[in-house]
């Protein structure tokens, strides 16, 4: 079976700027293009052994998305599961009245669109917040591996478990308390990149997205960030990239 058989030859959408093909064996064997790929340690196939990979005879797409790209829309045909290698992705759920709420963030190593293994439509809209590198795994591959090896089961369960846990924490942490508290908690749990001088930096996103994550308006999100900047609790290094005073943030977050 090939990608063409699945009707996946065309790019997912216009935002998809590059598609590189690689057989799964390549990913596994650590060929150049996959050097530094976290897939072996982090991702869905972490527990698999080399023999398992030999069961797969279907290419895995490795895709580079630009920031703001749509991985899929809610309701789209769900034929693949996506593993995120670099970047950050938001899962958006739309409400009846047209407003939207971001229900989860996905980081490198996370699996996106896991529901594809159980139903034929995606539940959310998945959008990159920054340029992102991802691997698109056809659900047939997952199903086949699932039949052949029990090792994948535990990983799948673990992924589901992780999603539930994150959803619960998102609710209690980022959807409870004052806007200031929520912003502080968000900043604390944001992935930190170590800057050039070794100081930890966290890249924020648009105020609109921040609001949609915390359940407050764009203006309120903006005010809170602006306030933190003025009081020097966070210091802007580059555009939307901050050095955070975690001690004070934890205090604001209610420890």
Partner DNA sequence: CGTTAATTTGAAGACTCTCAACTGGTGTGG
Partner DNA sequence: CCACACCAGTTGAGAGTCTTCAAATTAACG
The minimum distance between CB 98 and DNA, in angstroms, equals: 13
Nearest distance from residue 254's CB to DNA, in Å?
11
3-state secondary structure at position 49: coil
- Residue whose structure tokens are 């229900």: 103
Three-class DSSP category at 198: coil
CA distance 106 to 86: 10
Q: Rule CB under 7 A: say whether 178 interacts with DNA.
A: yes
Question: What residues form DSSP beta bridges with 122?
Answer: none
Check if the beta carbon of residue 209 is closer than 8 Å to that of residue 221.
no
Exposure pattern of 126-135 as b/e (b: 16+ CB <10 Å)? bbbbeebbbb
Residue 73 touches DNA, criterion: CB under 7 A: no
State which residue, 64 or 158, has the beta carbon closest to its own copies.
158
CB of 68 to DNA, least distance (A): 9
> Which is nearest to 102 in space by CA: 113, 110, 90?
90
Closest CA to 214 of 247, 189, 245: 189
160 lines the binding site for its own copies (CB under 8 A): yes
Helix, strand, coil % (nearest 5) of the chain? 40, 25, 35
Kindly state whether residue 180 participates in binding DNA, applying the rule CB under 7 A. Answer: yes
Q: Which is nearer to DNA, 79 or 223 (CB)?
A: 223
Residue 222 as a binder of DNA (CB under 7 A): the answer is yes
Residue 223 binding partner per list DNA, its own copies, none, with a CB distance cut-off of 5 to 8 Å that depends on partner kind: DNA
| Position 146 contacts its own copies (CB under 8 A) | yes
Residue with Cβ nearer DNA (19 or 241): 241
What's the rounded Cα separation, in Å, for the pair 189 and 173? Answer: 10
Residue 251 engages DNA in binding (rule: CB under 7 A): no
For position 228 contacting DNA by CB under 7 A, the verdict is no
Helix (H) or strand (E) holding 60: strand 60-65
SS3 97: coil
Q: Which of 34, 74, 158, 243 binds its own copies (CB under 8 A)?
A: 158
Among 219, 231, 250, 251, binds DNA (CB under 7 A): 219
Per CB under 8 A, residues contacting its own copies are 93, 95-97, 99, 101, 103-104, 114-115, 117-119, 123-124, 146-147, 150, 153-154, 156-158, 160-161, 163-165, 167-168, 170-173, 175-176, 215, 254-255
Which residues are near DNA by CB under 7 A? 178-180, 206-208, 215-220, 222-223, 225-226, 229-230, 239-240
């Amino acid at each position: 079976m090939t990608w063409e058989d699945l009707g996946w030859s065309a790019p997912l959408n216009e935002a998809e700027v590059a598609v590189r093909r690689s057989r799964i064996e390549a990913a596994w064997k650590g060929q150049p293009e996959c050097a530094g790929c976290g897939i072996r340690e982090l991702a869905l196939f972490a527990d698999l052994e080399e023999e398992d990979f030999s069961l797969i005879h279907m290419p895995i797409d490795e895709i580079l998305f630009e920031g703001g790209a749509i991985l899929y829309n809610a309701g789209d045909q769900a034929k693949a599961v996506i593993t995120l290698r670099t970047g950050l992705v938001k899962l958006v759920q739309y409400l009846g009245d047209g407003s939207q709420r971001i229900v989860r963030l996905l980081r490198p190593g996370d699996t996106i669109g896991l529901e594809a293994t159980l139903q034929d439509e995606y539940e959310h809209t998945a959008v990159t917040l920054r340029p992102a590198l991802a691997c698109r795994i056809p659900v047939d591959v997952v199903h086949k591996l699932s039949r052949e090896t029990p090792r994948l089961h535990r990983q799948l369960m673990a992924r589901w478990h992780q999603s539930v846990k994150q959803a619960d924490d998102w609710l209690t942490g980022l959807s409870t308390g004052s806007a200031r508290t929520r912003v502080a908690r968000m900043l604390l749990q944001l992935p930190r990149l170590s800057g050039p001088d070794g100081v930890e930096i966290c890249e924020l996103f648009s105020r609109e997205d921040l609001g949609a994550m915390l359940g407050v308006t764009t203006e309120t999100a903006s005010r809170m960030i602006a306030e933190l900047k003025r009081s020097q609790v966070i210091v802007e290094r580059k555009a939307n990239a901050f050095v955070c005073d975690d001690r004070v943030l934890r205090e604001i977050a209610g420890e």
